[in-house]
Amino acid sequence: MGVTRSQLADIEAIRDELLEINHVIAITERTAERAEDDFAWRLSLQGFYGLRAQRLEELTTAAQADDEVLQRAAIRALGKAGGEAAIPPLAEVLRSRSANVRQEAIWALSEVDTESALPPLARALRSRDPLTRELAARAIGRIGTDSAVDVLAEAARREQPERVRMAIVGALEFIGTPRAREALPETEPLSAASR
């Protein structure tokens, strides 16, 4: 049984609602910090937090669906709107047998854009699938922290296909910090690795 347009529209609606909820929460948190009587603000936040948790649970369930199209749509929505709360379910789907699902999860983790996404991405960088490793290296480069540099430098020391090595070197160059530049000479130049 294939996924229906209605199911995909539901996923997109949940994603949009989550984005809106996250925005309202951010504004309410800033306002509550300045309010003298913050009880009402905290009560309001509890309602929004509860609604966000409910919507995240719906997306998490859809990310585990049997239908790959629905699963991938939910994974994309988690990456766009789930924030750090999306990391555990995205890390779980990184174990999928489907390369497409794993690749979607890597992209979604890179959208979360926080160092908390580094551990599952580092595991993906050790995958048997070279394309998964290549995408994980690029996603780790977007994180851009010293820890990300360490993960990339360690991966570069392992034997890698040239495309993966190029992605690792590109990620280190993208990070561009002195530490990342120092990690580059530790890797064999690409021309030497291909000889």
Residue 135, domain member (yes or no): yes
What is the number of domains present in the chain?
Answer: 2
pLDDT band for 121, please (50, 70, 90 cuts). Answer: very high
Which residues constitute the domain of residue 61? 1-101
CA-based angle 148:114:189, to the nearest 5? 25
CB atoms within 10 A of CB 95: 12
How many CA atoms, within 13 angstroms, populate the side-chain half-sphere of residue 37?
1
Cβ neighbours of residue 37 closer than 8 Å, sequence gap 6 or more: none
162: domain CATH number is 1.25.10.10
Q: Which two tokens stand for residue 122?
A: 């580092």
Highest mean pLDDT among 3-17, 52-66, 105-119: 105-119
Residues 86 and 127 occupy one common structural domain: no
Task: Look at residue 68 and tell me if it is in a domain.
Answer: yes
Question: In the prediction, which pLDDT does 194 show?
Answer: 44
How large is the average pLDDT for residues 150-166? 91
Residue 107 in domain: no
8-state DSSP, 97: S
Mark whether 117 and 165 lie in a shared domain: yes
Q: What CA–CA distance (Å, rounded) separates 101 from 118?
A: 18
Instruction: Check: CB of residue 72 under 8 Å from CB of residue 104.
Output: yes
Same domain, residue pair 87 and 144: no
Q: Which of 67, 101, 135 is the C-terminal boundary of a domain?
A: 101
Both 12 and 96 in one domain: the answer is yes
Return the pLDDT at 84: 87
What is the model's pLDDT at position 195? 42
Same domain? 153 vs 70: no
Kindly report the pTM of this predicted structure.
Answer: 0.77
